[in-house]
């Protein structure tokens, strides 16, 4: 018998368009202060953890059965949370908003179709586009402070006629929220679907409305949300969207049957019952964010105004050196976005004070 040859990825009949690609992934390093993936630093409270355990135990007794394929209760609960007159027929849920975005592209993108986004923005938009064989058309954010100039955006949409447009607001990694007029202008010009990725919606500053208010007048608009950030539930993988019921009919054609486990559904519904408590922590994080922006400015750093739970800051001649210096002090931030800047997630007050102290030391070493 022949000894098995070691097989590598090169030897497999992988799709040509995936050859040479690297998997997505921020480094998952064990560090004392992890400020690199825009997670919520507050773990579930003892009361929430106990409610989760109770409700999961109850669900466990029925795990021989498939879950509610349409996640009816969860979608109604999510609609109640969103308000704006929404109901469960206008809300859809999946395993993280990444799966939501993938289902959108499976239904509305695909071979021969194109998706457009305004960069720098969330790097998974082009990745999910590629994986669904949707051609990606990047457009530069040309407004000041990483804003999208509405005239440029409308022109780009009219010129390219994309099947799907992504508007991320607040934007990752810049923190920039879009005025509703920009979203409305793009929605009016777009021939296809417009997705407003509002993963960080709850962290917006006062006076920045959500695109949810535009849904009624724009049947091809989708607002995507997640429980990973404000609801501190990144480990549970729950994303959702609000859109016209016909959009949800379209997503039903591409979703896998029973895609959202019974455990996930009950965990998400339980966390929603604790919305007040969780949103209280969001308020604290917003204050911490505003204080961080102020401190960075006062200390001579360049900072993008942020409506999210992270801040993009610089300017560094060698940002990798700053990134490494922070890591040596136990603080992990993200090397992402414009080449002279770094992104830091807003953590607890104690974590941010360690970050500020370390940053002053490291930036003095690399003037
Ligand atoms: N959209 C944006 C803009 C994000 O930054 C993220 C997470 N980093 C996601 C979507 C996906 O989050 P999740 O799949 O955890 O919902």
User: Which two three-digit tokens encode residue 323?
Assistant: 């990134």
pLDDT at 146: 93
The predicted model gives 277-292 an average pLDDT of 97
pLDDT at 144: 77
pLDDT at 311: 98
Q: Where are the beta strands (DSSP E) in the chain?
A: 33-34, 91-94, 114-119, 135-140, 164-168, 193-197, 221-226, 239-242, 302-303, 310-314, 331-332, 342-345
Cα 284 to middle of ligand 1, angstroms: 21
The residue whose CB lies within 8 Å of the most ligand 1 atoms, and thus the one to mutate among 37, 102, 172, 231, is 172
Ligand 1 centroid to Cα of residue 127, in Å, is 13
| 165 in Cβ contact with 194 (< 8 Å) | yes
First to last CA, the chain: 63
**Which domains does the chain show, CATH number per domain?**
26-45+277-365 (3.90.1150.10), 62-273 (3.40.640.10)
Higher pLDDT, 287 or 5: 287
Count of CB atoms situated within 10 Å of the CB of 7: 8
Residue of the CA atom closest to atom 2 of ligand 1: 199
Distance CA 122, CA 199 (A): 10
CA 115, distance to chain mean position in Å, is: 17
In short, whether 97's Cβ falls inside 6 Å of ligand 1 is: yes
What is the value of pTM for the model shown?
A: 0.96
Average pLDDT over residues 58-74: 98
Tell me: pLDDT of 26 over 90.
no
pLDDT per residue over 259-273, tens digit each? 999 999 999 999 999
The pLDDT of residue 1 is 52
Q: What percent of the chain has pLDDT over 90?
A: 93
- Percentage of residues in the chain with pLDDT exceeding 70? 99
168 CB near ligand 1 (under 6 Å)? yes
Is the confidence at residue 295, as pLDDT, over 80? yes
Indicate the average pLDDT of the chain.
96
Reported as a pLDDT band with limits 50, 70 and 90, residue 28 is confident
pLDDT at residue 2, as a whole number: 60
pLDDT in tens, 161-202: 999 999 999 999 999 999 999 999 999 999 999 999 999 999
């Amino acid at each position: 018998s022949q000894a098995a040859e070691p097989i590598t990825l090169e030897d497999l009949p992988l799709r040509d368009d995936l050859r040479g690609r690297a998997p997505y992934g921020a480094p998952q390093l064990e560090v004392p202060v992890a400020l690199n993936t825009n997670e919520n630093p507050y773990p579930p409270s003892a009361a929430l953890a106990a409610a989760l355990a109770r409700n999961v135990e109850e669900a466990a007794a029925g795990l021989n059965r498939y879950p509610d394929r349409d996640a009816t209760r969860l979608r109604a609960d999510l609609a109640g949370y969103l308000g704006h007159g929404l109901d469960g027929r206008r809300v859809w849920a999946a395993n993280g908003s990444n799966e939501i975005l993938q289902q959108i592209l499976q239904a509305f993108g695909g071979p021969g179709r194109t998706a457009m986004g305004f960069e720098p923005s969330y790097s998974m938009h082009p990745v999910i586009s590629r994986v669904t064989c949707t051609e990606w058309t990047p457009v530069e954010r040309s407004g000041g402070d990483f804003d999208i100039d509405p005239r440029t955006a409308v022109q780009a949409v009219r010129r390219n006629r994309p099947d799907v447009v992504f508007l991320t607001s607040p934007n990752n990694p810049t923190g920039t929220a879009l005025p509703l007029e920009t979203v409305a202008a793009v929605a009016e010009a777009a021939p296809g679907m417009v997705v407003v990725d509002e993963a960080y919606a709850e962290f917006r500053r006062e006076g920045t409305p959500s695109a949810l208010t535009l849904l009624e007048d724009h049947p091809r608009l989708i607002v995507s949300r997640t429980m990973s950030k404000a609801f501190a539930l990144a480990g549970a993988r729950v994303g959702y969207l609000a859109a016209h019921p016909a959009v949800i009919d379209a997503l039903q054609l591409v979703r896998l049957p029973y895609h959202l486990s019974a455990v996930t559904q009950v965990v998400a519904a339980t966390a929603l019952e604790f919305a007040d408590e969780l949103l209280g922590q969001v308020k604290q994080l917003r204050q911490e964010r505003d204080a961080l922006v102020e401190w960075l400015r006062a200390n001579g750093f360049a900072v993008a105004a942020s409506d999210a739970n992270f801040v993009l800051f610089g300017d560094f001649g060698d940002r990798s050196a700053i990134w490494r210096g922070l890591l040596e002090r136990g603080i992990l931030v993200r090397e992402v976005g414009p080449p002279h800047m770094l992104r830091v997630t807003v953590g607890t007050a104690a974590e941010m004070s360690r970050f500020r102290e370390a940053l002053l030391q490291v930036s003095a070493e690399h003037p």
